[in-house]
Amino acid sequence: MRIGELAERAGVSIATIKFYIREGLLPPASKKTGRTMAFYDQAYLERLQLVRSLREEHFLPLRVIRAVLAERGARPLDRRDREILGRVAPDFLSRLAATAGTHATRAELVAGTELSSEELAMLEELGLVGADAGDGERRYDADDRALIEALQALERAGVSRDRFPLEILGHHVELLGELSRREVRTFIHNAGDLEPTELAKLAERALALVGPILALVHRKLIQRALRAELAKEKPR
Amino acid sequence: MRIGELAERAGVSIATIKFYIREGLLPPASKKTGRTMAFYDQAYLERLQLVRSLREEHFLPLRVIRAVLAERGARPLDRRDREILGRVAPDFLSRLAATAGTHATRAELVAGTELSSEELAMLEELGLVGADAGDGERRYDADDRALIEALQALERAGVSRDRFPLEILGHHVELLGELSRREVRTFIHNAGDLEPTELAKLAERALALVGPILALVHRKLIQRALRAELAKEKPR
């Protein structure tokens, strides 16, 4: 498509597209057929829509958009990154499993909670609670118990299940899942030449310290989301 | 396009598409021109790709995908929801502002931290730290200080800034921003007939209690992301 159609379909001005190109957020054009004739394809439109959403909905500064675009998407890990992953990930995963402690059975887990069996099944289906022990039975650890307790604390504070249906956690799995993927890739990519055991230990410490950062960023963004909704209210 | 082309472009089988239609995750077809002739448009392809990613990348169960699809996207709040928002959000926002406490100036904030002025500027640009006091000056509260301290704790634990460049927070803003938007909409939508002040208090309690849930879900999903990357390693 020509730049005019591109602009219309993305809901931005032609000047904005040229600005993004100048800033290196978009390549010059999918296909250039002359000094003034340039064509843009579907993939180009999608990238433009993404840049627009990062800019206008998430208010990211240009240099952050550049960093986000670089890390985003399905670019596979390169050989060096794969090698680091292979040496670090198993160690890291077994460290986490070790600190998650005792492995309760389903009956033991349910006994200590007010969670219905159906609710537990939902958490299992979402992959948030319980791991297959290899014998077809699930085992539950301290993280599983902590999550269930956190959900119960919400309910006890008055946020009943009809206000917070567990299906909502699907959004968390989708969006924090994508975040986790990008974090794993970034961490591996910036691993440097630390020895594998040191790297696994570092990842373990980092994971524990990222929790409070998530909570604080979320707190800010809830306020931003509310202000954005309120702003839509106002007459122009 | 015909169903064959649709399947190919989405990278799924025709049987999978028919299964999604049967399960109500996709409408029957964009356009039906006969008993056996059906056509599918670009929007249909995009929805199919989304369902596929929720299913195959995020492993969401079908009933959760249904709930996620219902809450997702840019469907504007309806009149009743807007009315609730208008009565609750300002109260909620001023409660949060009140508990975030004292308002430091930039000089006071920087004095107590090891953060460089450039790093602080990045956090401000991301909208994560500092609010415009209305006089062109920014003011900083307890949440801002807590976030800066959490970032410093990460650095002190050995996760240096070249391993965790602050630009990474762009991913957090994008993905937790989208999560926040959906949470606000769900909360408003399920508000029921609680009195506005009660609803604002409930939202405040819920926000505090959702923090640990985010951290625990993130912890699970980091492990899932690593296992998924490791599985790609294995020869078939």
**ipTM score for this prediction:** 0.86
Task: Look up tokens 């702003």; give the residue.
Answer: A231
- Determine, for residues B180 and A67 on separate chains, whether the beta-carbon distance falls below 8 Å: no
pLDDT score, position B64: 87
- Determine, for residues B170 and A206 on separate chains, whether the beta-carbon distance falls below 8 Å: no
- What rounded mean pLDDT belongs to chain A? 87
- What is the three-state SS of A87-99? HHHHHHHHHHHHH
**CATH number of the A3-71 domain:** 1.10.1660.10
pLDDT tens readout for residues A21-51: 998 899 887 777 777 778 898 889 989 999 9
Average pLDDT of the segment spanning B66-88:
82
Q: Residue B234 — pLDDT band, cuts 50, 70, 90?
A: low
- Determine, for residues A221 and B167 on separate chains, whether the beta-carbon distance falls below 8 Å: no
A161 vs A214: CA distance, rounded Å: 24
Mutate to test the interface with A, among B58, B63, B120, B148 (most CBs of A within 10 A): B58
Domain B79-233 has CATH 1.10.1660: yes
B50 vs B60: CA distance, rounded Å: 12
Is residue A94 over pLDDT 80? yes
Q: B203 to chain A, minimum CA–CA distance in Å?
A: 8
- Determine, for residues A177 and B229 on separate chains, whether the beta-carbon distance falls below 8 Å: no
The minimal CB distance from A174 to the residues B54, B151, B154 is found for B54
- Determine, for residues B216 and A165 on separate chains, whether the beta-carbon distance falls below 8 Å: no
pLDDT score, position A15: 93
Q: Which helix (H) or strand (E) holds A32?
A: strand A31-32
Percentage of residues in chain A with pLDDT exceeding 70?
Answer: 96
Query: B75-110 in b/e burial notation, b at 16+ Cβ within 10 A?
Result: eebeeeebebbeebbeebbebbeeebeeebebeebb
pLDDT tens readout for residues B124-178: 989 899 887 677 778 888 999 999 999 999 999 999 888 888 888 999 999 999 9
Q: Residue B236 — pLDDT band, cuts 50, 70, 90?
A: very low
Q: What is the DSSP letter of B25?
A: S
Q: What is the DSSP letter of A152?
A: H
CA quadruple B221, B186, B183, A208: dihedral sign: negative
- Determine, for residues B54 and A170 on separate chains, whether the beta-carbon distance falls below 8 Å: yes
**Exposure of B19 by Cβ count < 10 A (0-12 exposed, 13-18 middle, 19+ buried)?**
middle
Average pLDDT of the segment spanning A80-101:
90
- Determine, for residues B169 and A217 on separate chains, whether the beta-carbon distance falls below 8 Å: yes
pLDDT score, position A234: 59
Tell which residue, A100, A101, A98, has the closest CA to residue A90.
A98
Length of chain A: 236
Q: B6 to chain A, minimum CA–CA distance in Å?
A: 16
Q: Which helix (H) or strand (E) holds B118?
A: helix B117-125
Q: Residue B123 — pLDDT band, cuts 50, 70, 90?
A: very high
Among A176-185, A216-225, B131-140, the minimum mean pLDDT is found in B131-140
Q: A82 to chain B, minimum CA–CA distance in Å?
A: 8
The minimal CB distance from B171 to the residues A85, A159, A182 is found for A182
Is residue A111 over pLDDT 60? yes
pLDDT score, position A236: 45
Q: Return the number of other C-beta atoms located less than 10 Å from residue A166's C-beta.
A: 20
Contacts of A90 in chain B (CB under 8 A): 230
- Maximum average pLDDT range among B5-9, B56-60, B96-100: B5-9
Among A88-92, A111-115, B30-34, the minimum mean pLDDT is found in B30-34
pLDDT score, position A57: 82
Q: Which residues have a Cβ under 8 Å from the Cβ of B22 and sit 6 or more positions away?
A: none
Query: A45-69 in b/e burial notation, b at 16+ Cβ within 10 A?
Result: bebbebbbebbeebebbeebbbbbb
More confidently predicted of A47 and B111: A47
- Determine, for residues A177 and B58 on separate chains, whether the beta-carbon distance falls below 8 Å: yes
Structure tokens given for B197 = 């002040």
Structure tokens given for B20 = 């999604």
For chain B, the structural domain boundaries read: 3-71, 79-233
Q: Which residues have a Cβ under 8 Å from the Cβ of B204 and sit 6 or more positions away?
A: B92, B95, B96, B99
Phi, psi of A157 (to 5 degrees): -80, 5
Q: Residue A58 — pLDDT band, cuts 50, 70, 90?
A: confident
Structure tokens given for B113 = 């931290």
SS3 content of chain B, % helix, strand, coil (to 5): 65, 5, 30
Q: Residue B75 — pLDDT band, cuts 50, 70, 90?
A: low
- What rounded mean pLDDT belongs to chain B? 87
